[in-house]
Amino acid sequence: MVDLDLLAYLESFVSEERKSRFRDVLSNRTNFITVVTEDVFQVHNTSAVIRSCDVFGIQTAHLIEERFGNRLDKNIAMGAQQWVDVHSYKTASDCLKNLRSKGYMLVATTPERKAHSLDDFPLKKPIALCFGTEKEGLSDEILDQSDYQLKIPMVGFTQSLNISVSAAIILHKLTQELRNSDHPWQLTEEEKVMKQLDWTMKSINHVEEILARYKKDAKI
């Protein structure tokens, strides 16, 4: 449960324009779609995917970093990591187990011929879009456990795209489709308030001192 008194107190330190901007962005945020990257080698690719998540309203992303370690560059993400909830995992198994527990259908993106076209994808329940490393793509573990395999239709000689480009194309289409659907795609009111508090705290300089003052005054 969010401390609404604390939120009101902290909001007194940010502008009305900032508060309004938070509300507008949150009205378009969703957890109906989430994104997974697996062992992406190029730092700029992971960071660009996180930026696309922010741009298209995806609130949560999951990074499997088993082989190459941390792959998120704050400069390339251009601050998007402040607004998107990013979860890191040491193994694909841990990530998939978490997603399954939250009711997500696993959608593996792959250029393989047997994969279904993005144009025909049935967006009927919460999905986790999985993107693999640049050369090999997704691991057999994720491909084998996926509920659906998805590809972007291509008509040129080149039959592959950069992972960050693929993510942007797919997210653009599916988020548009989602917002035009009857699915309960928006964040719950509690989730919105939690993010409002989180983003407000991230927007205040020396917020630790201000929190300490609030706790002292409130005798917490």
71 and 40 Cβ atoms separated by less than 8 Å:
yes
* 3-state SS, one letter per residue, for 93-147: HHHHHHHHHCCCEEEEECCCCCCEEHHHCCCCCCEEEEECECCCECCHHHHHHCC
Q: What is the pLDDT of residue 43?
A: 72
How many percent of the chain have pLDDT more than 70? 92
Indicate whether 91 and 139 sit together in one domain: yes
Domain that holds residue 94: 31-185
Q: Indicate if 101 and 140 belong to the same structural domain.
A: yes
pLDDT in tens, 145-160: 999 999 999 888 877 7
SS3 state at 5: helix
Cα–Cα distance measured from residue 93 to residue 212, given in angstroms and rounded to the nearest whole number: 40
Q: Give the per-residue pLDDT at 79.
A: 64
Asked whether residue 75 carries a pLDDT value surpassing 90, the answer given is no
pLDDT for 76 equals 41
**Do 72 and 121 lie in a common domain?**
yes
The confidence score (pLDDT) of residue 218 equals: 73
Judge contact between 26 and 196, C-beta under 8 A.
Answer: yes
Statement to judge: residues 14 and 49 lie in one domain: no
42 and 141 both lie in a single domain: yes
At 19 the pLDDT is: 95
- Taking phi first (over 0 means left), then psi (-120 to 50 degrees means alpha), and beta for anything else, what does residue 80 get? alpha
Instruction: Convert the pLDDT of each residue in 44-68 to its tens digit.
Output: 788 889 999 999 999 999 999 865 4
What are the φ/ψ torsions at residue 131 (nearest 5 degrees)?
-120, 135
165-185 in b/e burial notation, b at 16+ Cβ within 10 A? ebbbebbebbbeebeeeeeeb
Mean pLDDT of the chain: 89
Question: What does the pLDDT look like over 25-41, one tens digit per residue?
Answer: 999 999 999 999 998 86
218 and 156 within one domain: no
Q: Which of 57, 59, 56, 81 is nearest to 71 (CA)?
A: 81
pLDDT of 12 strictly over 80: yes
Quick one: 112 and 95 in the same domain? Answer: yes
Q: Are residues 43 and 13 part of one domain?
A: no
Query: Domain tally for the chain?
Result: 2
Query: How many Å apart are CA 135 and CA 161, to the nearest integer?
Result: 11
End-to-end CA distance of the chain: 16
CATH of the domain at 58: 3.40.1280.10
For 11-31, what is the mean pLDDT? 96
The answer to whether residues 169 and 130 belong to one domain is: yes
Q: Do 180 and 194 belong together in one domain?
A: no
Check whether residue 195 and residue 216 sit in a common domain.
Answer: yes
- What pLDDT, on a 0 to 100 scale, did the predictor assign at position 128? 98
CB atoms within 10 A of CB 139: 19
Entry pTM:
0.90
Would you state the pLDDT for residue 78?
47
For residues 113 and 217, membership in a common domain is answered with no
